[in-house]
Amino acid sequence: MSETLLITDIQHFSVHDGPGIRTTVFTKGCPLRCLWCHNPETLSARIRLKVETGRCVGCGACLSRCPEGAISLSDGKAVTDRAKCVDCLACAAVCPTDARHADGRRVTTDDVAAEILRDRDYYVGGGGATISGGEPLLQSEGVFALTKRLHDEGIHVAVETALSVPEEVATAATERFDLFLCDVKALPAELHRRLTGRDNALILANLRRIAERGKPLLLRMPLIPGLNDGEKNLAATAAFIRSLPGETPELEILPYHALGADKYAALGLEYKANGVVVPDREYVDAVKDRFRRLGVALKG
């Protein structure tokens, strides 16, 4: 019997989630609450209502279908009172423009594998599949089943993870993936807790565990001006990377962007990174140069 996964999307022809051309599966559910997260639809481990107001034509079909009386019309648009909304999705079922829809869906691993395998001709030369999130290892049973299915077909499988998962899950993961794409958001514990809502001791221990087993590892640092770009964090991050056993992994810098801000409004969530400046190339290059001087090899 096929396992199931709760996902938000399957993205085809991705070139930013591992080597070559890849198919990326975005899973739902994450234990962290990074202030800058650009995929808020992946945070909750349950399916929620997403409202894209720009698509709304004000037809009013959703008003009578809402059992909680959470929808009203204002300036020709249907407005949702999120304090009353229970994410039953009754309104989405009658929306003619898909302005109201679910932010995820439950699928079988067999169905996901079949969709990935349709892209296999594009993987020639080093591509494959990447399981991302959210935090995909929160759904380890389904993710591991999917990975086995893909490996049986000769597909390279990477996982994009923050590793804020129990030790036994991270240990099991080391035997199941061909490449780990792992975040290093902030090294000082207090800073990490302030930026993500959680301590990073478990994350760092899991990273070291993966490195000890000699697994292919690429570290990725989201660069968020004013939040994690201070000298103390850069120096601590570099020191940690250099301390990892085995071959020192490369670090990829992921500059902050605000492209996900509108998603928060669609989900009735507060975007806590308002005011963060999008870094320009000169700034990013200066941070990269600093890491190189600190003895860290960079990707790209």
121 pLDDT higher than 80: yes
Q: 54 CB contacts (<8 Å, ≥6 apart)?
A: 99
Token code pair at residue 52: 């894209």
At 221, phi and psi to the nearest 5?
-115, 115
Mean pLDDT of the residues in the chain:
96
Q: Give the predicted TM-score (pTM) of the model.
A: 0.94
Is residue 84 classed as helix, strand or coil in its secondary structure? coil
DSSP per-residue string spanning 112-158: HHHHHHTTGGGGTTT-EEEEESS-GGGGHHHHHHHHHHHHHTT--EE
Higher pLDDT, 104 or 258: 104
Measure the CA dihedral 185/188/193/195, to 10°.
-40
With a pLDDT cut of 70, the percent of the chain lying above it is 100
With a pLDDT cut of 90, the percent of the chain lying above it is 96
Confidence at 202, pLDDT banded by 50, 70, 90: very high
**What is the predicted pLDDT for the residue at 1?**
56
**What is the predicted pLDDT for the residue at 287?**
97
Looking at residues 121-130, what average pLDDT do you find?
A: 94
Is residue 274 classed as helix, strand or coil in its secondary structure? coil
**What is the predicted pLDDT for the residue at 260?**
87
Looking at residues 104-111, what average pLDDT do you find?
A: 97
**What is the predicted pLDDT for the residue at 2?**
72
Helix 281-293 to helix 231-243 angle (10° resolution) is: 50
- Give 37-63 pLDDT, tens digit per residue: 999 999 999 999 999 999 999 999 999
230 pLDDT higher than 90: yes
Which among 273, 290, 280 is positioned nearest to 236, based on CA atoms? 290
Looking at residues 64-74, what average pLDDT do you find?
A: 96
Report the alpha-carbon distance of residue 78 to residue 56 in Å, rounded. Answer: 7
300 pLDDT higher than 90: no
- Strand pairing of 49-51 and 128-132? unpaired
- The alpha carbons of the chain give a radius of gyration, in whole angstroms, of 21
Token code pair at residue 122: 């594009």
Q: What structural domains and CATH numbers belong to the chain? A: 4-45+105-293 (3.20.20.70), 49-102 (3.30.70.20)
- Give 135-180 pLDDT, tens digit per residue: 999 999 999 999 999 999 999 999 999 999 999 999 999 999 999 9
For CA atoms 207, 107, 261, 289, give the dihedral sign. positive
